[in-house]
Copies of this chain bind each other. A is one copy, B any other.
Amino acid sequence: MFGTPIILAPIAGPGTPELTAAVCDAGGFGFLASPYSAPEKIHADVARIRSLTKKPFGINLFVQPELPPADDAMLERAHERLRPYLRELGIDTSEIARPTNVYAAQIEAVIEEKPAVFSFTFGIPSVDILARFRKAGIATMGTATTVEEARALEEAGVDCICAQGAEAGGHRGTFIGDAREGAVGTMSLVPLVVDVVKIPVIAAGGIADARSVRAVLALGAVAASIGTAFLRAHEAGTSAPYRERLANASSSDTVLTKAFSGRYARGIANRFTREMEHESNIAPTPYQNALTTELRKVSAQQGNREFLSLWAGQSFPMAREASAAEIIAQLRA
Q: Is the CB of A187 within 8 A of B167?
A: yes
Q: Is the CB of A192 within 8 A of B252?
A: yes
Q: Is the CB of B219 within 8 A of A146?
A: no
A216 to B186, alpha carbons, bound, how many Å?
A: 12
| Nearest CB in chain B: distance from A317 CB, A | 6
A220 within 8 Å of B (CB atoms): yes
Q: Is the CB of B182 within 8 A of A185?
A: no
Task: Give the secondary structure class of A's interface.
Answer: loop
A residues 26-69 touching B (CB-CB < 8 Å): none
Q: Is the CB of A187 within 8 A of B184?
A: no
Query: Using Cβ atoms and an 8 Å threshold, which residues of chain B touch A188?
Result: 167, 205-206, 208, 252, 313-315
| Nearest CB in chain B: distance from A12 CB, A | 21
A222 within 8 Å of B (CB atoms): no
A254 within 8 Å of B (CB atoms): yes
A211 to B219, alpha carbons, bound, how many Å?
A: 5
Query: 15 extra interchain contacts, Cβ-Cβ under 8 A, other than A187-B206, A191-B211, A218-B218?
Result: A148-B251, A167-B184, A167-B188, A181-B255, A185-B185, A185-B206, A186-B206, A187-B212, A187-B216, A188-B313, A188-B315, A192-B315, A192-B317, A214-B218, A215-B219
A7 within 8 Å of B (CB atoms): no
| Nearest CB in chain B: distance from A202 CB, A | 14
With beta carbons under 8 angstroms apart, the residue of B181, B182, B184, B252 that contacts A184 is: B252
A selection of 19 A-B contacts at a CB cut-off of 8 Å is A165-B185, A167-B187, A181-B255, A182-B253, A185-B187, A186-B186, A186-B187, A187-B205, A187-B315, A188-B206, A188-B314, A189-B314, A191-B211, A191-B315, A191-B318, A192-B315, A192-B317, A211-B218, A211-B220
A254 to B191, alpha carbons, bound, how many Å?
A: 17
Most buried by B among A181, A185, A254, A318: A185
A235 within 8 Å of B (CB atoms): no
Q: Is the CB of A314 within 8 A of B212?
A: no
A159 within 8 Å of B (CB atoms): no
| Nearest CB in chain B: distance from A331 CB, A | 12
**A residues in contact (CB < 8 Å) with B:** 146-148, 165-167, 177, 181-182, 184-189, 191-192, 205-209, 211-212, 214-216, 218-220, 251-255, 313-315, 317-318
Query: Using Cβ atoms and an 8 Å threshold, which residues of chain B touch A146?
Result: 252
* Given A215-B215, A215-B219: A185 and B209 interface contact (C-beta under 8 Å): no
Query: Using Cβ atoms and an 8 Å threshold, which residues of chain B touch A206?
Result: 185-188
Query: Using Cβ atoms and an 8 Å threshold, which residues of chain B touch A212?
Result: 187, 191, 218-219
Query: Using Cβ atoms and an 8 Å threshold, which residues of chain B touch A148?
Result: 251
CB-nearest residue of chain B to A184:
B314
A182 to B267, alpha carbons, bound, how many Å?
A: 10
